[in-house]
Structure 1
Amino acid sequence: MKRQDQKTEDTWNMQDLYETEELFAQDADKLEQMMEEFSSLEGTLAQGVTQAAAAMKLYEDMSFLYEKLHVYANQKYHEDTANAKYQKMSGEMQILETRLGQSTSWLEPELLSLPEELLNTYIDAPKLLAYRRFLSRIARKRVHVLDARAEALMSRIGELGQAPSNIYSMFNNADLRFPDIEDSEGKTHPLTHGMYISYMESKDRTLRKHAFDALHSSYRQFQNTLASIYYANAKQADFFAKERHYENAMEAALDASAIPVSVYHNLIHTIHRALPEMHRYVRLRKKFLRVPELHMYDVYAPMVDRPDKAYSFEEAKQTVKRGLAPLGEDYLALLQEGFDNRWIDVYENEGKRTGAYSWGAYGTHPYVLLNYNSTLKNVFTLAHEMGHALHSWYSDHAQNYLNAGYRIFVAEVASTCNEALLIHDLMNRTQDETEKKYLINYFLDQFKSTMFRQTMFAEFEMLTHGIVEKGGMLTAEQLCSIYLDLNKKYFGEDMISDPEIAYEWARIPHFYTPFYVYQYATGFAAAIAISSKILAGEPGIVEKYKQFLSGGCSKDPIDLLKICGVDMSAPEPVEAALQVFSEYLDKLEAE
């Protein structure tokens, strides 16, 4: 289907963002003028509260306007990526983003160059009340800011620090090619990054094995080069952290969201204690797949047949709404508003961006992109993305622009909470044994992939960066040995840790944003802990949850979750989530 053949009611309403493209162009011109004005304010912040307030207001207005332009251009491009007009518009917004960054780059250093007493005066000034949180976050960095000459040098070498990530991205996305593979009938299939997971989910075990072997063998050919790139990335992270007076790269990465290092260690230690349950999951997977040996290419294969039932989009909306009933009538009314008022771009068309996401600009409702295809999995995708959308709605309506955007540490909480509530409702309602087993399998796989596997990645980063922190070097042999040992530890004796899995570290792009992946596991754990409280009917929890959703970045992520009684610096939330994992393992064993 071509884009123009989509029914209007099945597409998102981009006119809610810009009624006409002439208005879009006018705002782009307006932003150009604002950037010139903002650049002229450099060097004036020490003149007093009134001058600082004017600069902050202009900075906020520019950021808000750029977000609106950026979202519009990219979502129009995502409707049909082959459309040359919107390709150009999206590209122009990338150029504008660079120029905006250049025109505002002086703000933070100049604020931090102010005498501490003066900056504290600004933080407490009534005229700057709307920016207190923003200014406080900058002030907290003072201990990690260098003198002017050193900051200028760090700025110049910052681009060099991105070299390992850029080199890896170019290799992985542009240069690396995989061989074709054969299925059990001898048919040839192309192997790409995008196709790999679909092959690994295939019922054809021969296809899975060939895909697994071919992909990892391709990385093995370049293991020494990739190890050098990984080592260089760890070295640059260590350099920048220590130059900014952090103990190590982990502390520097977590400090961006004010996350204590203890949260990272607590996650790993708590998951270690639960590894016997992960091993029980592996044994169940082996049993349900009826294989004499379970290999790493069996990890994504469906243990249970997917139900044949097809869900129309109308049925999907009603199913999601019913599942989220515990969140109250006001939440359901917002959900229905999104369903009724074209927040969602529903179906696939030629050239449309793949996958699903929630996005939007402050001041306008969120948008959700889907490629809906009537499966139960897509029903969960709808619940997931609307969780993100309503999280944004609550934050945007409670906070000013600079306080509205929530941190990655909490970004997956609302979406995962929605999925947990939905699966509980479906489990309680279904009389179909196949569907029930599928639901259990689906949820257990979420735990396996998000809590256990992402924590394994996090431990790999901790171990490898720890070697660099102490002045050690990383080689391909070393990286493979560490990764293989972790894989055996996490998956247990009932899993054959095939030799090829030792090279998996080489294909994980998230490793080039050090100490990022742990947040998937902590966010998932927090969501399961909160959803369990909601389902248990804990007094006041729904109201507290909505207060959390409304928090944006007005508080540190750890403190936002504490509103719901979830303290991620302690083991209890992770333990509570793992208890749910155990309960669902019990259900599957009973089937």
Structure 2
Amino acid sequence: MVAKEIQERKDIPNEYKWDLESMYESVDAWNEDYKKCVKLSKEFEEFRGKVVNSSENLLNTLKKRDELYRLVENLYVYTHMKLDEDTRLGSSQELSGKGLSLYVEVEEKTSFLIPEILTLNEDKLNTYMDEQKELKLYKHYLDDILRMREHILSAREESILAQMGEVANSPQKIYSMLNNADLKFPVIKDENGKDVEITQGNFIPLMESKNREVRKTAFESLYETYKNYKNTFAATLNGELKSHIFNANLRNFSSSREASLSENNIPLTVYDNLINAIHNNLDIMYKYMDIRKRALNLDELHMYDLYVPIVKDVDFDIPYEQGVEIVKKALSPLKDEYLKGINEGFNSRWIDIYENRGKRSGAYSSGSYDSNPYILLNYHETLDNVFTIAHEMGHSMHSYFSKKHQPYIYGDYSIFVAEVASTTNECILLDYMLNNVTDKNERLYLLNHYLESFRTTVFRQTMFAEFEQLIHEHLEKGEAITADYLCETYKKLNELYYGPDVVIDEEIAMEWARIPHFYYNYYVFQYSTGFSAAVSFSEKILNEGGAAVDNYLNYLKSGSSDYPINVLRKAGVDMTTEEPVNNAMKLFKRLVDEFDALI
């Protein structure tokens, strides 16, 4: 099947859509679990005031908590994926709202748990573990709670905060509805002179067009549309930032950044080292931009020229099925255990492949502890989309192995390590393609793609991270967040990161409004750190094999059974040092130099 035109979902065959029915075969089945969950959440309140009265009470409370969250996770994950199939559907919006409300209710009903655990001292906890051997399963979970002792509030205050959860989520929800469902972009002419409506899904493919006028028109049309709503987007982002700062202040953190990173026990120096390392290597980015300008034979390199492949006359038109086969062959160094998992994924309808009207933009991996991992794509037949398959399958295999080898309490993994598995797959895929290409232009094209991965995943995401830090700090100083401030700050960062050989068009100042990750509370820096760790892992896997592959698989199987920094360190990558980022920059320099020599 070739998906060229944007279709209604009902017109796409089921084989190209994910199988959510394996979670809930009907809304009635979902409602049955909903009722069960409501009942369980009420029953959980019976533990209030009694959690640490005895070792038996503590164990029973933790078991009941697992049962409750395992169920509400199924309910919530299903509704968010169902909504993402077509965000226009009122029935899906209603179900999603119901699922979110229930999750917030469960948070409120269980909010007394952590404050009560915090009344335990270490000696008492050790005594309880001696009395109840099953409590040893929860040791890391309990240690992590005690680590956060000074940032946990009273049971009453935690209850109030939990009840505020849905309100705090409002800016992100409003943004999503505006950005994905309500915002309409103009119709322009594509390179064949045909009318094409700009969408979130086809914007980057349009920016990759060889026809510069198509790129320019798409770029200006999209950001002009955002500009028409700039004050609304600024207001939603302002609301999101204020909720981050409110939470940090209430929990006695010195900043919202510290509050966010503390959740995974990530030192602030990891964030600072990343930005410093990238600033120290911007000259390599400037050289790459100079090469791009020369290779495209342009008097001026504009922001709408950054996605078009530099190498002319090389087309990778890759149907989805062919893309899958490429990914499977590339990942063969990861051994049979890994390959068995990805084959299950490709053959068992884990993936929602093509764009349809109303579908959430972008790509992600999702799922609950009890479900299959699921992947949302908006597949277009480009090389970049093949890498998206590998990327999201990396996430899904991380989930697959974590759930298979860890109990529920540790069956998920932290955000900090989440992007490592996905990007390792991309690095291995690129190495495979570079090793199997003989044509000089195709090699140049692939090198260009690898360099673009560095530009977009390391440099650009670090720029996003710096923007996120600056706007939070601006608000924390008592300054106002306005659309003009956001545009000015964002444009200045583009000037810094892209250098003197790029014309920083006025339209790019609105790009912040297009980035949903600014609602994720210091998420984006982890793309850059994750890419750096992935470079280290992929080089070890490809150059050493054997034990390096085993170490990597052990990382995938670790879930959240230890702090993310420790999980990576055990597998051979220490993110508390500058070494992984600096190694990635050395590779980037080698690639730039090779590209410059061949172009």
Give the TM-score category using the shorter length: 0.7 to 0.9
Contact 2:403/2:559 (8 A) holds in 1: yes
SS in 2 for 1:105: coil
Instruction: With the length of structure 2 as denominator, give the TM-score of the two structures.
Output: 0.85
Question: What's the secondary structure of 2:394's corresponding residue?
Answer: helix
State the shift of 1:392 in Å. 1.0
Distance in 2 between residues matched to 1:169 and 1:453, nearest whole Å: 22
Aligned residues: 591
In the alignment, is the contact (CA less than 8 A) between 1:123 and 1:131 conserved in 2?
A: no
**Which of 308, 326, 330 is the aligned partner of 1:319?**
326
Deviations 1:130-154 (A, max 9, x none): 2222222222221112456665665
1:58 paired residue number: 64
Distance 1:325 1:425 in 2: 10
Which deviates more, 267-276 or 11-20? 11-20
Q: Is 1:97 paired with 2:97?
A: no
Aligned to 1:271: 278
TM-fit CA distance, 1:293: 0.5
Residues 201 and 361, structure 2, Cα contact 8 Å, conserved in 1: no
Aligned-partner Cα distance in 2 for 1:542–1:436:
27
CA RMSD of aligned residues (A): 3.7
Q: Match for residue 254 of structure 1?
A: 261
Q: Are 1:119 and 1:139, in contact at CA under 8 Å, matched by a contact in 2?
A: no
**Local SS of the residue matching 1:570:** coil
Further displaced range: 463-472 or 262-271: 463-472
Write the mapping of 1:322-401 to structure 2, written as runs, cut at 5 A: 322-346=329-353, 355-372=362-379, 374-401=381-408
How far apart, CA to CA, are the structure 2 residues paired with 1:462 and 1:88?
A: 34
Supply the distance in 1 between the matched residues of 2:303 and 2:582 (Cα, whole angstroms). 26
Tell me how far apart the structure 1 counterparts of residues 108 and 457 of structure 2 sit (CA, whole Å).
37
1:405 paired with 2:418, answer no
TM superposition score normalised by structure 1:
0.86
Q: Which moved more, 1:82-91 or 1:61-70?
A: 82-91
| Counterparts of 2:247 and 2:157, CA distance in 1 | 12
Q: Residue 184 and residue 546 in structure 1: after superposition, are their counterparts in 2 closer, same or farther (change >3 A)?
A: closer
Matched, 1:32 2:59: no
| Aligned twin of 2:296 | 289
The whole-number CA distance in structure 2 between the counterparts of 1:231 and 1:339 is: 40
Question: Is the partner of 1:44 in helix, strand or coil?
Answer: coil
Counterparts of 1:217 and 1:4, CA distance in 2? 32
Write out aligned runs for 1:435-584 (5 A): 435-472=442-479, 478-537=485-544, 540-584=547-591
CA distance in 1, matches of 2:283, 2:219: 26
Q: How does 1:232-251 map to 2 (within 5 A)?
A: 234=241, 237-251=244-258
Matches of 2:74 and 2:250, distance apart in 1: 36
> Structure 2 vs 1, CA of residues 227 and 254 (structure 1 numbering), >3 Å: closer, same or farther?
same
Gap regions ≥5 residues in structure 2: 1-6
1:368 match: secondary structure: strand
C-alpha deviation, 1:497, in angstroms: 1.9
Q: Which residue of 2 aligns with 1:137?
A: 144
Residue deviations 1:533-574 (CA, integer Å, cap 9, x gap): 212226621111011101111111111111222111211101
SS at match of 1:487: helix
Question: Which residue in 2 is equivalent to 1:106?
Answer: 112
Q: CA deviation at 1:348?
A: 6.0
Match of 2:3 in 1: none
What residue number does 2:204 align with? 197
| Structure-2 change in CA distance of 1:245 and 1:74 (3 Å) | closer
Identity %: 43
Counterpart residue identity of residue 293, structure 1:
E
Q: 1:506/1:379 Cα in 2 relative to 1: closer, same or farther (>3 Å)?
A: closer
Aligned counterparts of 2:384 and 2:226: Cα–Cα separation in 1 = 31
**Separation of aligned partners in 2, 1:69 and 1:480:** 39
Whether contact under 8 Å (2:59, 2:134) holds in the other structure is yes
Structure 1 gaps of 5+ residues are none
Residues 37 and 68, structure 2, Cα contact 8 Å, conserved in 1: yes
| 1:49–1:127 CA contact under 8 A, matched in 2 | no
Q: Could you report, residue by residue, the CA deviation over 1:300-350 in whole angstroms, capped at 9, with x for unpaired residues? A: 223235754554555433322221121122222222333344444555677
What per-residue deviation string (whole Å, max 9, x for no partner) do you get for residues 230-254 of structure 1?
Answer: 5665555444323422222211111
